[in-house]
Amino acid sequence: MNDRAALDLLLEHGPLSRTRIGKLTGLSKPTASQLLARLEAAGLVVATGTTAGRPGPNAQLYSVNATSAYVAGLDVTPERIRAAVADVAGSVVGEFEVATPGRRAESVVRQVTDALDGAVKAAGLARADVHRVVIGTPGAFDPGTGRLRYASHLPGWHSPTLLDELAAALPMPVEYENDVNLAAIAEQRLGAARGHDDFVLLWNEGGLGAALVIGGRLHRGFTGGAGEVGFLPVPGAPLVRHVTKANSGGFQELAGGQALARLAHRFGVCDIPGGTHNEVATALITRGAQAEQGPERELLRAFATGLATGLASMVAVLDPELVVLSGALIAAGGEPLRELVQSELGELAASRPRLVIGEVDQLPVLRGALEAALVATRDEVFDTTR
């Protein structure tokens, strides 16, 4: 327990002296010295200079040996797989991205291994150096069947043998997690949800999704589908039947990216930008956030009402302490959008959780995958009783 406490302090604070570790842990100097000697012999800490330049005699500083373990994370979308490798201290040391045009299971296996190997090579490592991989995808793998659900738009990932084939191709433990859940892990460990045990993360990018953290733990549901709120029936949108075939539902139609072009026509927004579906939606939200009045601002207000409508149903069931808004469309709307959603939610919901914009704005799904892999790997590597 003392060993792990010291390692966690080194991860949190950076290099520390023996005296400082003793004060933070409550250990005596001799015990702290024995602890550091034990961790150094195990290859888990290294000496990293002294306290030169500070008052008093120089003291040896120690830090976690970042090279004692490595993890990898993969962020999968229909268009690409982005991979990254991090050392045990959490620093990203290699990244790589591959396009994903294939639709067969064997293509998926090749794409995953190519992405992983590219990131490993960029880090100057070998595949065997990676202790654990966490793969984030839309939807979720049903724990009962092993098949991907709620993500019919992800080609090639629905084979019943896919997980077995990936396990055979990758020599290290591999975990799979919903992409929005991983964004929530990133916010909980590094961002706006630090210190919060009950919160909802609402994601709005290519699609609408949510992550539910209850009592400090992700709630995934019986089939892994907790948080698939894009399928949620909501007022103001037509009732969508056979939602899994349509890969959409009322909330997605009301407040997903596809709603922006419709709202632009409704409010007479002129000069609708060109580009892909997501680029058009992002540009319209950005213009709405920048406008103080006029049709662009009305578009943003209507979009905020749609988001608040779905959130009101979620809040009524979960009563969270905090709601984190994340994803490209949320980032484009920024604080103006958050204020509008907060105001609308205050009128639609009996409880009024605080709404904040996510702080992990650079690759949150990939960062969450790395954080999830680091939690498990540190538990293994930092166990000095083995």
The pLDDT of residue 18 is: 86
The answer to whether the CB of 186 falls within 8 A of the CB of 360 is yes
Asked if residue 74 has pLDDT above 60, the reply is yes
The pLDDT of residue 264 is: 92
Kindly report, residue by residue over 365-379, the tens digit of the pLDDT. 999 999 999 999 999
Kindly report, residue by residue over 219-262, the tens digit of the pLDDT. 999 999 999 999 999 998 888 888 877 778 899 999 999 899 89
CA distance linking residue 114 with residue 172, whole number of Å: 15
Share of the chain above pLDDT 70, in %: 97
Enter the DSSP assignment of 129: G
Q: Please state the rounded mean pLDDT for residues 33-43.
A: 89
The pLDDT of residue 240 is: 85
Asked if residue 53 has pLDDT above 70, the reply is no
CA distance linking residue 250 with residue 248, whole number of Å: 7
Q: Please state the rounded mean pLDDT for residues 47-74.
A: 84
Asked if residue 103 has pLDDT above 60, the reply is yes
Asked if residue 192 has pLDDT above 60, the reply is yes
Asked if residue 95 has pLDDT above 90, the reply is yes
The pLDDT of residue 207 is: 87
Say which residue the tokens 């896919």 belong to: 162
The pLDDT of residue 104 is: 64
Q: Please state the rounded mean pLDDT for residues 90-114.
A: 88
| Residue 102 confidence class, pLDDT cut points 50, 70, 90 | low
| Residue 28 confidence class, pLDDT cut points 50, 70, 90 | confident
Asked if residue 38 has pLDDT above 80, the reply is yes
Q: Please state the rounded mean pLDDT for residues 8-29.
A: 88
Please, what is the average pLDDT of the chain?
Answer: 92
| Residue 58 confidence class, pLDDT cut points 50, 70, 90 | confident
CA distance linking residue 112 with residue 84, whole number of Å: 12
Kindly report, residue by residue over 167-188, the tens digit of the pLDDT. 999 999 999 999 999 999 999 9
The pLDDT of residue 156 is: 86
22 by Cβ neighbours in 10 Å (0-12 / 13-18 / 19+) ranks as buried
Asked if residue 55 has pLDDT above 70, the reply is no
The answer to whether the CB of 21 falls within 8 A of the CB of 39 is no
The pLDDT of residue 150 is: 87
The pLDDT of residue 56 is: 60
The pLDDT of residue 385 is: 74
The better pLDDT of the pair 76, 144 is held by 76
CA distance linking residue 383 with residue 106, whole number of Å: 37
Least confident piece of the model among 37-41, 214-218, 240-244? 240-244
Q: Which domains does the chain have, with CATH numbers?
A: 2-64 (1.10.10.10), 68-183+365-381 (3.30.420.40), 194-359 (3.30.420.40)
